A and B are shown apart, each in its own frame.
Chain A
Amino acid sequence: MELLSARHGDAVVLSPRGRIDHASAETFKTALGPHLAQAGPGRALVLDLGAVDYIASVGLRVLVLASRQVRAQGGTIVVAALAPLVREIFEISKFTLVFPCFATVADALADLAARPQPGAGTR
Chain B
Amino acid sequence: MLIRFWGTRGSLPAPLGTAGLRRKLSRALRGAVGRQLDTEEAIERYVAEELDFATSHTFGGNTACVQIDVGGPEHVLCDLGSGARELGLAAMSRYRPGVSQVFHVFLSHLHWDHIQGFPFFVPAYIPGNRIRIYGCHDGLEAGFRRQHGGPSFPVDFSQLPSSIEFVRLGPGEAYEIAGLQVTARRQFHSGDSYAYRFERDGKAVVYSTDSEHKLDDPASARAFADFFRDADLVIFDAMYSLADAFSIKEDWGHSSNVVGVELCQMAGVRHLCLFHHEPAYDDEKLTAIWRETERLEELTRGERPLRITAAYDGLELRV
Contacts and interface: CB of A to CB of B under 8 A. Distances in A.
Contacts of B262: 56-57
A60 B246 contact: yes
A85 to B, nearest CB: 6
A51 B215 CA distance: 24
A93 B256 contact: yes
Contacts of A56: 215, 262
Contacts of B300: 54
B296 interface: yes
Interface of A: 22, 25, 54, 56-58, 60-62, 64, 85, 88-89, 91-95, 97-99
B299 interface: yes
Contacts of A93: 241-243, 256, 258
Interface of B: 215-216, 218, 221, 241-244, 246-247, 256-259, 262, 292-293, 295-296, 299-300
B290 to A, nearest CB: 11
Given A57-B256, A89-B299, 4 more contacts: A25-B216, A56-B262, A88-B296, A95-B242
A22 B263 CA distance: 11
Nearest to B222: A22
B247 A98 contact: yes
Contacts of A62: 216
Contact of A58 (B215, B241, B243, B244): B215
Contact of A94 (B215, B241, B295): B241
Contacts of B243: 60, 93-95, 97-99
Contacts of A98: 243, 247
A46 to B, nearest CB: 20
13 contacts: A22-B215, A57-B215, A57-B258, A58-B216, A85-B299, A88-B299, A89-B258, A92-B293, A93-B243, A93-B256, A94-B242, A94-B244, A95-B243
A103 B218 CA distance: 33
Nearest to B265: A56
Nearest to A93: B242
B299 A22 contact: no
B36 to A, nearest CB: 39
A94 to B, nearest CB: 4
A79 B244 CA distance: 18
Contacts of A60: 242-243, 246
A66 B293 CA distance: 26
A95 B258 CA distance: 12
Contact of B216 (A61, A88, A92): A61
Nearest to B293: A92
Contacts of B216: 25, 58, 61-62
Contacts of A54: 300
Contacts of A97: 243
A64 B247 contact: yes
Contacts of A57: 215, 242, 256, 258-259, 262
